[in-house]
Structure 1
Amino acid sequence: MSKRKVKDAALPVGECITQVCIKQLLTFEGAQWVLQSKICLFRHLLELLKRTAVHGESNSVLIVGPRGAGKTMLLKCVLRDLLEETEAQKNLLQVHLNGLLQTDDRIALKEITRQLHLENVVGDKVFGSFAENLAFLLEALKKGDRSSSRPVLFVLDEFDLFAHHKNQTLLYNLFDVSQSAQAPIAVVGITCRLDVLELLEKRVKSRFSHRQIHLLSSLTSTQYLERVQTQLSLPDHFPDGQFAQDWNDSIKTLCRDKSVGEILQRHFNSSKDFRSLHMLLVRVTQNMVPHPKPTIKPIDVQEASRVCFADATANMLRGLSILELCLIIAMKHLNDVYEGEPFNLQMVHNEFKKFLQRKSNSMYNFERPVIMKAFEHLQELELIRPVDGSSAKTQREYRLMRLMLDHSQIVEALQKYPQCPTEVKQWGMSAFG
């Protein structure tokens, strides 16, 4: 192959590999995975939603399992098959809510109205309760003859977070409608909490059908490694066949590398979630050198893994001022001396003054208001937090606090802190203040 051909082929390889990663990921997590591993659950959920979409029967169900087990993909595959039915495609409406986004019932109701395209119908109307508003929305969905309402599928992702809404009004009304057959709706909750039913109020629980679909990840470390190799391999129909063969051979060699195997095993032990694996592989492809001949080396995997496992809190410490870092070190020594007991600003200030007296360096002499401001900034960053709510009544210097960092995070931050003064680093690394 000429240099020009290699150069032309090298240019789109990074993008191509990323696309292959996504395609292989979707293929594995999609229909193939569902049909082979979860066929019974797939059929059960499909039949359940078909009763609502085609026959107008209301239902409710929870899909429960750890992250990465395929809960969302199972639902996506079911909906894909369901919408192949002409009647379902024509009539079924979908509302997708997420507990991380719709943090209260008012926001959730506004999102329901938007997704059902009923903003103009609601207009400036004022409703006495959430139930009246929801009933009005469902009434507005009735067909032209006003005899029957269009079926609606409500998908509640992060279902457990909706249980923290005031009085669980949204859940109560959705389950109440599904039970009383006011309108054909199906409520599908997706959650990682195995104890999610214990979070529901008695009146909400009594209106839930108690159908649960449990998904568990049966993936082995060998299958995980095979999936990495499959995702990074180029397809047979790649334009340059010789390049694809050389690339795939290099990927097999990479996956047999001992250091790469240890990294992938660590990721597997940390999380079997394919989203985290996908994030790792995308970073790997970004790190590789595209010229003259693109290849992925073990060092690229190590660097990508380092970024993925980076401690966000330790990185935050690297952005603190020297004063704030000194206060953190003083708290660390107080934790060591008093075995994790709470401390206050006065105790931290006294510990800091001991350090200043030993060093007798004027560059670390700060006025008390400046120290107090730095202490409050650490609280805003949530690196320290009050022991309890009653501390608000206590004078600021004497409010009890806890350090939200462990010893290793502080040591790591000191080692990576840009141009950290030697005496501060020695103070932080020492066993005693």
Structure 2
Amino acid sequence: MLATVRRNQGSPAPPPTASARILATGTPRLPAAFPSTIGSPSKRKPPPPSAGRQRGARTPSPDPLQSRLPHVQLPESPSRATLRAIPASPSKRKGKQVERPADELPRILPDHLHPLLERQKRAILKSLQHPPEIDEIEVYGEDYPPTNNAAYEQLSELLTGSVVRGEGNSCMLIGPSGSGKTQIVEKAIAQLPSKPIVVRLSGHAQHNDRLAIREIAWQLAQQTGQSFLPNDPEDAEDEEQSAPAPAEQQAEGDASLDADLDVDADGDDDENPFVERAPALPPAENARLAITLPPPAHLLALISMIPTLPRPTIIVLDGFDLFATHARQALLYCLLDTAQACRTGTGSGSGMAVVGVTARVDTINLLEKRVKSRFSGRMIRTACPAKMEHWVQLAQAVLGASVVSEGAKEGADEKEWGRMWAKAVEAFAGSEDVVEALKETYALTRDFQMFRRIMTRLALDLSPSSPFPTIEKLDSATKSQRCPPRLAPLDTLPYPAVCLLIASVHASASGHDTFTFEMLHDAFKTQVRTSQSAPVQVAGGGVGMAFERLVDLRVFVPAAAAAGSVAKEFALHRSGVDRFEVKKAVDVIGQLSLKRWFTKA
């Protein structure tokens, strides 16, 4: 075609040039997208190579330009560079060991570091019991005064006045649950210049004044090594033999308490008639005398003798609002009146401090007028962390607890473990997923007890096969502690128990929110007769045993107080689970007979 065009134009065909010969022997070039058929000879394309040349061009020959210019290095084509950059196949790399970087954490802990992992877990649990101090100025800034630091300073000044100067003080520590109230009290007591006598009471354990006073006498005997006995043992025996009934004892105790309030604790006779120093006896006999309690008639009079003890006394009342619900608030009145009666600088006795700890804000309004008049009115408040960064730093400080005790020499294994663990904790605390998980929990509650339970579960999940904290472990611990299941999985219950649950759903659908065992049993027997597929007994357990198990698991809750005249099978109960939970359990079990019975409701 080109020759025909040239003949028509009258121009002879030019001979092939050297460059054309070079291109022909190399890799063939593709023609232009729009080839020009008319133009000068220099711009025309050379004729396509013949079939023989195409076959020869399939095997590339050495580049002629490289042979002519050996000192010039031609650039390599991208296709060749790409082919050389492709790594070898796994089969070709088989037998070659890929070395792990020195700073990478091992997935499986070496055997010689297993004991250090257990020591690290114990150190974390110990740190959670006594949380480390966080630099609150770094978290909140210098312009924001930390509430708990101010509460600690106020409480320390108050207790120092009672221990050093012999003052009688009283205060109330108020704050939400998990805000650090107990920690502040223990820290303030530990920082006192001298060791006082500390009596700790709880409104959850001592639910009446009699138990509280007995606990006071017990703890005083344990800490002072003195026997709180009356002067005349014969009088004590007579009082114990002629002890009145419990109701009369409580009435006489309240009456004697009112009589004791008129007695000045700092009278002329400063000696405590209820304290007798234990004689020089063997340790076992001395311990027996140290824990001997006085008769009930002298228990209330013991409080007024506390200022005459050789050391100052601090009484911590946990659940102070619960003590305010006791009859006549006799214990609070006696304690606050004795603390108010302490005189500073008289040298007649030791100081006394009453510290109430509560999470209820309106506790002061629960006090009677005569009790409130003896209270000093000091209200010290605590608060939970105000920023989420506080939790992040606290988590990093708790996890970074040292496995080496103070004064001990650090060995090679401890140094290796310390470097690995510090790097793992830093990566864990700096992860955005970890911060987001802590932020979700912080948004729900700022209670430190929740934080402690989550970190405890995280520490217990560490193992040699997975020795470092991860976001997966944190999510698992958060789900198990933040929203624990109220009841056991219903699909794990035995067959008769599931049948009773379905019967309770039928009873609720028919308008009976409360039911008895006989009602459920009749519905169960009716279903057995109609379906002929539900067994009456499975694995040696009957329907009655299944009902008792559901009551023990709190799935069925009593709807009325138990009465001796009502048999167990006729006692009213109500279901603690709803219809959807029972339906989910039936779907998981997958038995067709149960599904058909449930759908009838």
Report SS of the residue matched to 2:155.
helix
RMSD between superposed Cα atoms in Å: 4.3
Task: State the partner residue of 1:220.
Answer: 387
Q: 1:234 to 1:241 in 2, by over 3 A?
A: farther
Q: 1:45 to 1:313 in 2, by over 3 A?
A: same
Kindly indicate whether residue 583 of structure 2 is the aligned counterpart of residue 422 of structure 1: no
Task: State the partner residue of 2:206.
Answer: 102
Look up the equivalent residue of 1:228 and give its one-letter code.
A
From 133, 142, 152, give the equivalent of 1:42. Answer: 152
Task: State the partner residue of 2:451.
Answer: 277
Task: State the partner residue of 1:304.
Answer: 477
Kindly indicate whether residue 370 of structure 2 is the aligned counterpart of residue 233 of structure 1: no
Q: 1:297 to 1:129 in 2, by over 3 A?
A: same
Shift of residue 14 of structure 1?
Answer: 3.5
Task: State the partner residue of 1:122.
Answer: 229
Aligned 8 A contact 2:173 2:356 in 1: yes
Report SS of the residue matched to 2:299.
helix
Matches within 5 A, 1:12-411: 12-20=116-124, 22-23=126-127, 26-28=130-132, 37-81=147-191, 83=192, 85=193, 88-89=194-195, 92-117=196-221, 120-122=227-229, 125=236, 126=239, 128-129=252-253, 131=257, 132-136=298-302, 138-139=304-305, 142=308, 150-181=311-342, 184-233=351-400, 240-241=414-415, 243-255=417-429, 260-261=434-435, 263-291=437-465, 294-309=467-482, 311=484, 313-315=486-488, 321-335=494-508, 338=511, 341-353=513-525, 355-364=527-536, 371=543, 374-375=546-547, 378-379=550-551, 381-389=553-561, 399-406=571-578
CA distance in 2, matches of 1:234, 1:154: 33
Q: Per-residue displacement from partner, 1:222-276 (whole Å, max 9, x unpaired)?
A: 3323332332236598765454344333334444556645543443344323333
CA distance in 2, matches of 1:177, 1:21: 40
Greater Rg over alpha carbons, structure = 2
Q: 1:27 to 1:289 in 2, by over 3 A?
A: closer
Q: 1:397 to 1:20 in 2, by over 3 A?
A: closer
TM-score for the superposition, normalised by structure 1 = 0.76
CA distance in 1, matches of 2:371, 2:596: 56
Name which of structure 1's ranges 314-323 and 216-225 shifts more when overlaid on structure 2: 314-323
Aligned 8 A contact 1:314 1:412 in 2: no
Q: 1:422 to 1:310 in 2, by over 3 A?
A: farther
Report SS of the residue matched to 2:501.
helix
Unaligned runs of 5+ in 2: 1-101, 138-144, 241-251, 258-297, 344-348, 405-409
CA distance in 1, matches of 2:154, 2:584: 50
CA distance in 2, matches of 1:31, 1:79: 21
CA distance in 1, matches of 2:426, 2:163: 47
Q: Report how many residues are paired.
A: 414
Q: 1:153 to 1:318 in 2, by over 3 A?
A: farther
Report SS of the residue matched to 1:61.
strand
Aligned 8 A contact 2:587 2:595 in 1: no
Look up the equivalent residue of 1:196 and give its one-letter code.
T
Name which of structure 1's ranges 280-289 and 202-211 shifts more when overlaid on structure 2: 202-211
CA distance in 1, matches of 2:488, 2:545: 21
Q: 1:248 to 1:355 in 2, by over 3 A?
A: farther
Unaligned runs of 5+ in 1: 144-148
CA distance in 1, matches of 2:204, 2:370: 24
Task: State the partner residue of 2:276.
Answer: none
Shift of residue 389 of structure 1?
Answer: 4.0
CA distance in 1, matches of 2:307, 2:584: 58
Shift of residue 209 of structure 1?
Answer: 2.9
Report SS of the residue matched to 1:100.
coil
Q: Per-residue displacement from partner, 1:179-198 (whole Å, max 9, x unpaired)?
A: 34497421111112223334
CA distance in 2, matches of 1:154, 1:385: 40
Look up the equivalent residue of 1:212 and give its one-letter code.
M
CA distance in 2, matches of 1:415, 1:422: 8
Aligned 8 A contact 2:533 2:593 in 1: no
Shift of residue 363 of structure 1?
Answer: 1.1
Look up the equivalent residue of 1:315 and give its one-letter code.
A
Task: State the partner residue of 2:41.
Answer: none
Look up the equivalent residue of 2:172 and give its one-letter code.
L
Please state which structure has a larger fraction of its residues in helix.
1
Shift of residue 290 of structure 1?
Answer: 1.3
Report SS of the residue matched to 1:174.
helix
Report SS of the residue matched to 1:363.
coil
Q: Per-residue displacement from partner, 1:346-376 (whole Å, max 9, x unpaired)?
A: 443344345435532251379xxx6566545
Task: State the partner residue of 2:292.
Answer: none
CA distance in 1, matches of 2:167, 2:479: 51
Task: State the partner residue of 1:146.
Answer: none
Q: 1:249 to 1:392 in 2, by over 3 A?
A: same
Name which of structure 1's ranges 403-412 and 324-333 shifts more when overlaid on structure 2: 403-412
Look up the equivalent residue of 1:7 and give its one-letter code.
D
Look up the equivalent residue of 1:211 and give its one-letter code.
R
Aligned 8 A contact 2:123 2:403 in 1: no
Shift of residue 26 of structure 1?
Answer: 3.5
Q: 1:285 to 1:106 in 2, by over 3 A?
A: same
CA distance in 2, matches of 1:413, 1:170: 52
